[in-house]
Amino acid sequence: MKSMIREYLDQIAEILENFDEENIAMLIKCMEKARVRNKNIFVLGNGGSAATVNHFVCDLGKNAIEGDEGRFKIISLCDNIETITAFGNDLGYKHVFEERLKNLMNPGDFLIAVSASGNSENVLCAVEYAKRKKGTIISLTGATGGKLKAQSDYNISIDSIITEQIEDLHLIIEHSIVTVYKHKNTVCGAVFDVEKDDFIHH
């Protein structure tokens, strides 16, 4: 048993060792555009990925920005089981996220889709709708990224085919983003210039 645990931890460590942090920096730049333009950020996923995006809403909404100005307008499409099951029962599970976007999404809003396989039908339906609304599509996937990667404006794919490892890394990415925002003024003294898409220092 201990050897299996060690093997799993070693595999996670190897993925992290080979992971380019610039991927997260670019993702933050995308999200910063949404924040400064006061756009909604919708997040979605199935199963463990649903837990990840709900965690993201909690951390990004509560911990990332102090004060009452310039906070993220982040909304999980996984947080209302009554609505999800109603749409699933009446229209089919493939439509549960798409239908919620029809109630909430405005042109130019952002969508973050999290999927280990990148091929979940309900995720892809939501992405197709968001694209019709001229939204920006960001995705976190695993392995080759599936169909979702091809439909995204920006994608991070975890170099693994093991769902548990992919989900672990997705959560690390989420925590990395929140950490950057928590310390951008007090530690690194930097903010994003969304016109230049780069850091500017003061």
Q: Tokens 């950057």 label which residue?
A: 180
Question: What pLDDT does residue 96 have?
Answer: 97
Q: Structural domain tally of the chain?
A: 1
Domain contains 40: yes
Instruction: Give the Cα separation of 122 and 94 in Å (integer).
Output: 4
CA-CA distance, 15 to 23, in Å (whole number)?
14
* CA distance linking residue 97 with residue 89, whole number of Å: 13
- Counting beta carbons within 10 angstroms of the beta carbon of residue 8, is it exposed (0 to 12), middle (13 to 18) or buried (19 or more)? middle
CATH number of domain containing 127: 3.40.50.10490
Least Cα distance to 130 among 156, 161, 104 occurs for 104
Q: Is residue 131 part of a domain?
A: yes
- pLDDT tens, residue by residue, 147-165: 999 999 999 999 999 999 9
Q: What is the pLDDT of residues 47-105, one digit of tens each?
A: 999 999 999 999 988 888 777 778 899 999 999 999 999 999 999 999 999 999 999 99
Domain range for 119 is 20-201
pLDDT of 166-198, one tens digit each?
A: 999 999 999 999 999 887 766 444 445 655 444
CA dist list (Å): 77 to 47, 89, 97, 98, 185 = 13, 16, 6, 9, 31
pLDDT of residue 128: 98
Q: What is the mean pLDDT of the chain?
A: 90
Answer whether residue 6 is part of any domain: no
